[in-house]
Amino acid sequence: MNKLLEKLVKKHIECSKDGHVAEYIPELARVNPYQLGISVHDGTKLISAGACYTPFTLQSVSKPLVLILALMDHGESYVFEKVGKEPTGDPFNSIVRLETYKKQKPYNPMINAGAISIAGLIKGASVDEKINRIVHFIRVLANNQEISVNTDVSNSEKSTGDRNRSIAYFLKDIGNIEGDPLETLDVYFAQCAIEITCQDLANIGMVLALDGKSPQTGEQLFPKQYAKIAKAYMTTCGMYDGSGEFAIQVGIPAKSGVGGGIVAIAPGKFGIGVFGPALNEKGNSIAGLALLKELSETLDLNIF
d(CA 223, CA 133): 18
Q: Which of 188, 231, 233, 274 is catalytic?
A: 188
Among 62, 236, 256, 285, binds a copy of itself (CB under 8 A): 236
If binding is defined by CB under 8 A, does position 44 make contact with a copy of itself?
A: no
Could you tell me if 198 and 274 are in contact, meaning their C-beta atoms sit under 8 angstroms apart? yes
Does 53 participate in catalysis according to the annotation?
A: no
If binding is defined by CB under 8 A, does position 276 make contact with a copy of itself?
A: no
- The site string for a copy of itself over 157-196 (x = CB under 8 A, - otherwise) reads -----xx-xxxxxx-xx-------x---------------
Q: In a 3-state reduction of DSSP, which class is residue 186? A: helix
Instruction: List the helix and strand counts (H, then E) for the chain.
Output: 14, 8
d(CA 261, CA 251): 18
If binding is defined by CB under 8 A, does position 86 make contact with a copy of itself?
A: yes
Of 45 and 224, nearer to a copy of itself (C-beta) is 224
d(CA 223, CA 302): 24
Question: In the sheet that 148-149 helps form, which strands lie side by side, from edge to edge?
Answer: 56-57, 194-196, 148-149
Question: In the sheet that 37-41 helps form, which strands lie side by side, from edge to edge?
Answer: 46-50, 37-41, 270-275, 261-266, 254-256
Q: Smallest gap, in angstroms, from Cβ of residue 113 to a copy of itself?
A: 11
If binding is defined by CB under 8 A, does position 11 make contact with a copy of itself?
A: no
Binding stretches for a copy of itself (CB under 8 A): 84-90, 94-97, 99-100, 107-108, 162-163, 165-170, 172-173, 181, 227-229, 231-233, 235-237, 241-245, 247-248, 251, 253, 265, 267, 302-304
Q: Give the residue numbers marked as catalytic.
A: 60, 63, 188, 240, 258
